[in-house]
Structure 1
Amino acid sequence: MAQIPDSFASHRVQKGETLEMLLEQYKITAEQLEEYNPLVTRFGIRRRMNLRIPIYSNTAVVQPEKPIQNPQNSTVSFTLHEVLPKETKWRLAYQYNTTIAELDSLNPEIKEGLKIGQKLKIPLPKELRPIPEKDSLYNYYKVLPKEGFYRIEKKLGVTQATLDSLNPILKETGLQAGMILKIPGAQSGELRIEDDLLVERANLIDSVFQKQEIKFTVLLPFKANEIILDSVEDTKRLLQARNLHTIALDFYSGILFAVEKAKQKGLSIEVDTYDTENSISKLNEIANELDDKTDFILGPLIPSNFNYLSSLKSLSEIPKIAPLSSNPVVLRKNVYQSVSQLDDNRLKMFSYLERVIDTTHHVVIVADSTNR
C-alpha cells in the first residue's frame, strides 16, 4: 500500500521556482507530488499554481486498511441547522461528515427536498468542513451502495491515496454509501457536473418506459398548399433552400427516426401529423379536430403560433412542447420548451469555464459571422 501522508501543506508557486526546487525543499518525489496535484502531470509547474504538498514522517508506517465502521454504534451528539438559501442535501452531508440517507432518516420532511428556514437535526461532527458555493478546484461525489475504492478509481481515475488525502474522515469510517467525497476537479471520468456534484449521465435509451403505448400530435408548418407540384424545377428549387418547408421536413424526418427507434425498444407509438400552414385560422381548425386522448402535442414551431395554441382552454390539460426555437414562449400550465434560451446557455458556459480553468489555461472564443 502506498504511504499515506501525515498532513498537507499549501504552496503557491513563485516566479522562478522549478519542480526540482520544490522536491528538494519538501523532501518528496515527483510521483508523490503529482499524485495529489494532477495538473502538474498535465502542465508541469506553473507560476501562481496552488499545490497540496504531502508531508511524510521520517519512517513510513504501513497501516492495515481499516474496516468500515458504523457510526450509529457510537454515542452521537446532535445539532440544529437552519437551512439557508442555495443549500442542498449533499452540501450539508459533506459539511457535517454524514450521509444523505442519515439526513433523510433524521429529518423525514426533507426527503422531497429542502426548504429555506427548515431546522434540521444533524449529527455533530468533530469539525465542520466548509464548502465554497462555487468550487473552482474540486468536484464532489456521492458514494453509491457497495462501491469500493477500486470501482471509484475505475470510474473517476482517482486513487485511494488521493481520496484519503482529500477526505481524512475515510481513515476513521472507510467508505459509506451516501457519503460525499471531495474529488480533484480535473478528474470526473464520464460523469457530468451539476452544482459541483458529479452525477451519472442519463441514458434515455436505457430508461424504463412508464407507458407501453403513446399517442402524440405533431403540428408543423409544411405549407404544402404553397408547393406547386406541377413544376419539378420550382419544387426542387424550393426544397433546396432553407425555409419553413425544409425546416419542417427535416424536423419531421428526425421525429420518424426517433419513433422507429422507440418501436424497436418495444414502445407502441401512434403519431397524428397536421400541417399548420403557419396560419392561426388553420390552428383553430386543427384544435377542433384534436383527439383529447393524445398524450402530448409537439409544435407549432413558430413561438407566436405556439403561444396562441397554448392559450386555448380546450387544450389546457394536454402537455405541449415548443421545439427548435430558443426564443422564449409563454410558460403556462403544461407548456414545455425543449431548447434553452441563449442567455441561459451563456451563463452555464461561463460557470463551467470558471470551474475548470485556472491561471495555466487560455481560452479562445471564436464568434464571427461563420462561428456563432
Structure 2
Amino acid sequence: MTKYIAAIAVVFCFAFAKANSTTAVSKASSNFFQKFISHQVKGGETVKDIAKKYGIGEKEITKLNPDAKKEIYDGLVLILPASSQVTTQVVEQDNLTFKTHKVKRKETLYSLSKRYGVPQDVIKRYNKRLYSETLRKGDKLRIPTNYKPEIVTESVVSLPESTTAALEQTTHKVIAKETKYGIARKYGITIAELEQVNPQVKDGLKIGDVINVPKANFAESTIINNEKYAFYEVKKGNTMYSLLRSLNLEADELLTLNPALDEGLKEGMILKVPKGSPGSDNPTPAYGETSAQPEVIMVPGKKGSLETSLTDFSTKRIAVMLPFGVNRVSSDNIETNEDLLKNDRILRLSLDLYSGILMAAEDAKKLGISASIDTYDTAYNRKDGKAVNARKVETIIQSNDFNGVNAVIGPLLGSNIDRVSSMLSSRNIPVISPISNKVIGRGNIFVSKPNDVLLRDKMLSFLKENGEGKNIVIIADAKNGSTKSKIKALFPNAKTVAPRSGDKGYFLYPDDIPSQLSDELENWVFLESNDVPLISNVTTNLNAQVGVRKIVLLTTNRGSAYNSDEIQHEHLKNLSFHFPSVEKEYKYKDVKAFVDNYETKYGVSPSKEAIRGYDLMYDTLLRLAYAQDLYRAASSGVETDYIENKFKYDRRGAGGFSNQAVYLIKYTDTLQLEEIVTTSLLED
C-alpha cells in the first residue's frame, strides 16, 4: 500500500503539469500552485533555451519536470518557479497598425501567419497568452497589418534559410489538367512553398493563371544536394499512422519539418523527411500493402481499429472534470496526504483515471493527434451535500471558456454529469460519463460504461444461439425472478431450483442440484444471485459433480459477491464459469509497451481504473480524428477494442448515446479469463 500511495502522490503532484494547456482548478486550491508558473514549449526549444530565457538553471527545470530529462516537445507544459522572469528583450517596430482577427475552426498560427504575411513569433508577441495557451476557435487576435521583417526568415519547409532568401523567381502559366502537385514536382519545390508565393492558389488552380515559381535549376539542385533531407510524395490511402510507421519517424519530427500537416494530410503533398528515412526514395505503399516496415508495438484494436483511418489532425481540446479535492491537500504534511489517499476512494479513483488519461494523450500524439487538456477540480465532498457539490460544477462551467471544447470527460457522479450535460447541451459539447451508467443527461451525453441490462441481454443472446441440446438448469433467488422468466421464455423446458430462505439467508438441500442434472447432456447451470453464501454453496456442490457430469456454470450478472474470499476460483475454473463483463483481462505480451511505460512513469502496475482512463481517452481522441466529432463517429457504428475496454456507441431511447459493447468471458483451465467470440457478438 505504501508503494501505491507514493506512486499516486507523484501522479497528484505532477498531473496538472502534464496537461497540454492551462489547468483550471478551484479557487480554494490556488494556494497550492502559487509557487509555480507554466511555460508551453515551442517547436525547437530545448531545456537550455528555456533556462536561459527565464534566467534559471537547467536543473531547476528537470527537478520540477522529470520527463524533461529525456525529451521535450512542442506543446508540452513545463512547471517553472514563480520567481522565473523572461530575460529576453523584443524590439518593437514603430508605427504598427493592427486589425482584429476572430479565429475560425481549423485555423492555426501557421495558416494565420501565411494569410497575413506575419511570422508566428510576431503574432505571439502581440498576443502574449499564446506563449502558454493554444489557439482556440473564437479567440480575437491583434494582427499587425504593416509589419516589415528586418531579415528574410526561413521558407515553409524545404530549403535552408540562406538559400530560400536567395531564390530567383520565374513565372508559370497554368494549362488544362495541371495540379499544384504537378507544378511543385516540376520545379522541385513543395506545395506549401508554391502557396506561399501564390496565396491565391490555396483554393485551387484555374486554367490561364500566371503564377510565380522559383527557377527550376537552382531549386532542384538545392533540394537534391541537401545532405539532410529527402522528399516523399503522399499517395492515395496514406494515413499519418502509415507514414510514421513506414518512414520510422515520430509525429513531432514530421510535423516540425512540414508545418502544413497541421491542416491535414492530403494526397499529392510533397513532404520533407530526413534523408535515409525508409520509403523516402520510393513512393510509400498505402497501409496494408506489402512493404518492409519496422516493428511498432501498438495498443491492440481488434474490431474497427481507427489507427489506420484517421483524417483530422487538428489539436483536440478535451476538458477533464474530476474530484481531486486539491483544497484538502497539505503542501507540507506528507502523512496527512497519505491518510487522505488511503481513506478517500473517490480521490484514488480520480487519480487513477487521470493517470491513464495522460498516458493516452501521450500515445495519441505518436499517431499525430495532439490534445489540449483542460483539467478542472470539481472538489467533491460528501459532507457538503448534493446541492453544494452541484454548485461547484456549475461555477466551473460559468467561470471558464468551454467554446471549442471537443469533449468533456467527467464528472464522476451521475447527478453532476447530468448537470454538466444540461449546461453544455445548447453548445452541443459531448459529455462523457467515465464510470457511472446511472445517468439521465441530454442529447449530448455519452455513457461509456454499459449497464446491467445490456450485460444480461448479451448473455441471453449467447444462450439463445448456443443453448440447443443442453440441459439447462436455473438457480435464481427471489431478487432475480425476472431473469429466470426470460431464460424460461427462451427454453421452456429449462429446469429450476428454488433456493430456500432461512434465518441465515438462502440455502439448498444436498440433493436439490444433483437431481436436476443430466448424465448424457452437457449441463448449463445459470446461477442468478449476488448472495455470497448461496454462490459458495452452489459452486461447491457443482464442483463435486464435475468428475461425473459435464457442467458449465453461467450467470447474466457477475455481481460483487464473486469477489468474496468465500468463493473459490478453483471451483469457477473447474466449472468453466461464463459471465458478461464490461472489461476483459489483458494479456501482458499484447500490451507490454503500455504496461512498461506506466510502471516506469508511476512506479506501480496500472489499475483497472487507470486502464479505463487510458482506453476512454485514447478512444475519444481517435474517434475525433476519425470523424471530426463524436456524434459522427457514433453514427458510423464503428466498434473499437483496446487494452481492457471496448466501445460502440448507439443512441439511447431518451437521447444521447450509450456504449453497447461488452465482453463474454469464461474461466480457462489455467485460471485465465478468456473472451468468448460468438456469431451474435460479431453481428452486433
TM-score range, shorter chain: 0.3 to 0.5
Question: Considering only CA atoms, is the larger Rg found in Structure 1 or Structure 2?
Answer: 2
TM-score between the two structures when normalised by the length of structure 2? 0.24
Between structures 1 and 2, the one with greater helix share: 2
